[in-house]
Every structure is written in structure tokens, then in C-alpha cells.
Amino acid sequence: MTPKAPFFLGLDVGGTKLAAGVADAEGRLLARDEMPAGARDGPEAVIERLVGLSGRVMDASGVARSGIVATGVGCGGPLDPVAGIVREPPNLPGWHDVPLLARLREGLPHPLGERPLYLENDANAAALGEHRYGAGRGVDHLVYLTISTGIGGGIIADGRLVRGENGNAAEIGHMSVAHDGWPCPCGSRGCLEAFCSGTNIAARARSRLLAGEASRLGEMWPTTVTARDVAEAARAGDPLAVRVWEDTTAVLGAGVANVINLMNPRLVILGGGVTRAGEQLLSPVRRIALERAFPYLASVADVVLAQLGPDTGVVGAVAVAQARLVAETEVGRA
């Protein structure tokens, strides 16, 4: 295929790594690169690295800089997607009200700084990516969940991202399905994230090991047990791991049912590192969610795995740029 203009730059700012990509209007990546974020060096150093990475990935893409019409940036929230300001994401220590778009506008190579730049919560960006280029193509009503070290999400209703009053809708990780249950660092109880994130799947397995429950995971040094180890041991029939995995899918299934009852989506798309377990995760979550959801809403809903995989961050950022550029053009036209 011959790549066709217009092209977009997508930037993904994570606590661990920075990623950048150049893609065409169908979300196909012409070039992609990443580097460690070095988040402990603070926002200015991270932004400088991001600018350098952007230049390199544009050079690698072979696309003339003038062919790139807009830049999308995905970043951990909370943030202000309209003003382009990152508030204070837990994964980016030292970031407080950082005017990320203004800094990029100064730093990005000409003419990108003068062209549209858009910021979005990274989970919202991933939802837009799946909507435009992934599992949710052509679907007007969908909810995306990322199950990784944390749990986040994004909601598309009537084909458009639901942002909410200050741009932070879809904090699905902090939906409580146990109002007086396990504590969550956010101050609430029973939050999905505090039970089903990769971090917490591993933590529940470790606390069972430390309580003396028998398991093949006991051969490992307890603090090194990960969610992936739990998934593998569960596949092998290890009773402790099976129990932890079943608890995980029961709680996730209840959460997904809530999402179906609230949003009446056609699709709930599961992404993030924990979904590398594939059918082992999807199959029970899907079954439980569709059993629990209100029948008339369950009848039109399905639960599927995300399709963009490790490129979600940059492709999602590209989707942000494209979607917002299109929306602004439409507003301008009216």
C-alpha cells in the first residue's frame, strides 16, 4: 500500500515509557519509536525527550513534516483536554498543572507547533483508537476498558467520545462493585482497580502464599509473582491461582455488567496487559457480564478483546488528533 496524506503524529506519555508514531488517516503506522520516560527527572526533561523522539520518528517515517496535519497526545489523567494541561497524574511524579500542549507547541519541529495539537486522557485515546481503527470500527456505542497495572476506560456514545464536565469521564477503575468491600487507595471501597488490576491480581495471590496456602507459585520468591504468573498457574490447574483468577473474573464480570446496564453499548472492548491472557480472561468475563446484565441490554451487547495491542498508545493518540480535527472542521462548517 502507498501511504496517503493526511498524516498524523501520535505521542503517548507514560510513567515508564514515551512512544511516538506517524500514521495515515486509517491509523496505519509508517514509523513508531519509543524510549524510557525517565519520569523521575520531572516534566521538563520528559517533554524534551518527547520532542527529540518526535523528530526521530518523523525522520524515520519518510513523511515530509509539512504533510503532518495534526498531533495527538495521550497522557495519564487527570488532565484538562481542552486547555491542554496535565493536572497531576499518579504515574508522573512532579507533574502539577503542566501546560503540556503549550510546551510541545514551542518545542516540536516546524510546522507542527503551528498546527493543531490535541491532548486526551490515555484511556480515552485508546478507546478512540479501538473505535476508529480496531475492534470497534463502525460501532456507535462502545466502552473500552484497559486492565493493566491500573484500570481505566473510555466511552463512545453515538460515535463520539464522552468526556464529561472536566474531561475525565470513564474512571471505570474506580467503579465500586463492593460498597463496603476492599479498600482502594482512592479512599473508596470495592473499586474494580483495587481488585482486578494486574498489580492487585498479583497482590492477592501473594497474600495467599504468605498466608501459607499451597501452590506451585510457592516455588517463586513471593514478591516476584506477577498477574501473568497467576494466569499461567491457573491454566495449569493450580488451586490457589484458579481461585484468584475466578475471583478476578467474577468481579470484572460484575463491573462489565454495570457498564452494559449504564451505557447500553454494542461492544465492551477489553484491552491492556492483563488481556494477554486472551480467552482465559475474556470467556468468563463475557459469560458473567452477559448473564448479569439486564436481558434487553445484554441481547445487543458483546464483550471482545482489543485489537491494537502494543500500538494502542500511539494509534490512540493519532485517533484523538484525527477525531478532534474532524469535529472542529464540522463545527467550523456549520
Interacting residues toward a copy of itself by CB under 8 A:
77-78, 87, 140-141, 155, 157-158, 160, 162-172, 174-180, 186-190, 250-251, 254, 257-259, 261-266, 291-297, 299-301, 334
214/262 with CB nearer a copy of itself: 262
Backbone angles phi and psi of 118, in degrees to 5: -130, 140
- Residues, the chain, total? 334
Measured from the CB of residue 123, what is the shortest distance to a copy of itself in angstroms? 12
Does the N-terminal peptide bond of residue 36 adopt cis geometry, omega within 30 degrees of 0?
Answer: no
Q: How far is the CB of 77 from a copy of itself (least distance, A)?
A: 8
Sheet of 68-75, strands arranged across: 29-36, 17-24, 7-13, 68-75, 117-121
Nearest distance from C-beta of residue 209 to a copy of itself, angstroms: 24
Report the nearest approach of a copy of itself to the CB of residue 95 (Å).
Answer: 13
Residue 156 CB, shortest distance to a copy of itself, in Å, is 11
Q: Give the C-alpha separation, 16 to 221, whole Å.
A: 24
Nearer residue to a copy of itself within complex by CB, 57 or 290:
290
Rounded to the nearest whole angstrom, what is the least distance from the CB of residue 302 to a copy of itself in the complex? Answer: 10
d(CA 327, CA 127): 17
Name the residue nearer to a copy of itself (CB basis): 18 or 270: 270
- The whole-angstrom separation of Cα 70 and Cα 6 is 9
Distance CA 148, CA 154 (A): 14
- Name which of 35 and 250 has its Cβ closer to a copy of itself: 250
At 243 the three-state DSSP class reads: helix
Instruction: Return the amino acid letter for 33.
Output: D
- Minimum Å gap between C-beta 36 and a copy of itself is 27
The angle, 0 to 180 degrees and rounded to 10, between the axes of the packed helices 227-235 and 198-210 is 70
Nearest CA to 22 out of 324, 321, 329 is that of 321
Give least dist CB 320 to a copy of itself, A.
16
Smallest gap from Cβ 264 to a copy of itself, in A, equals: 2
1: how many CB neighbours lie within 10 A of its CB? 6
Q: Measured between alpha carbons, how far is 330 from 248 in angstroms, rounded to an integer? A: 43
H or E segment and range at residue 119? strand 117-121
Residue 109's nearest CA partner among 42, 61, 75 is 61
What is residue 275's DSSP assignment?
Answer: G
Q: Give the nearer residue to a copy of itself in terms of CB position, either 89 or 316.
A: 89
What is the CB-side half-sphere exposure of residue 137 using CA atoms within 13 A? 7
Query: What contacts 311, CB < 8 A, 6 or more positions away?
Result: 21, 29, 32
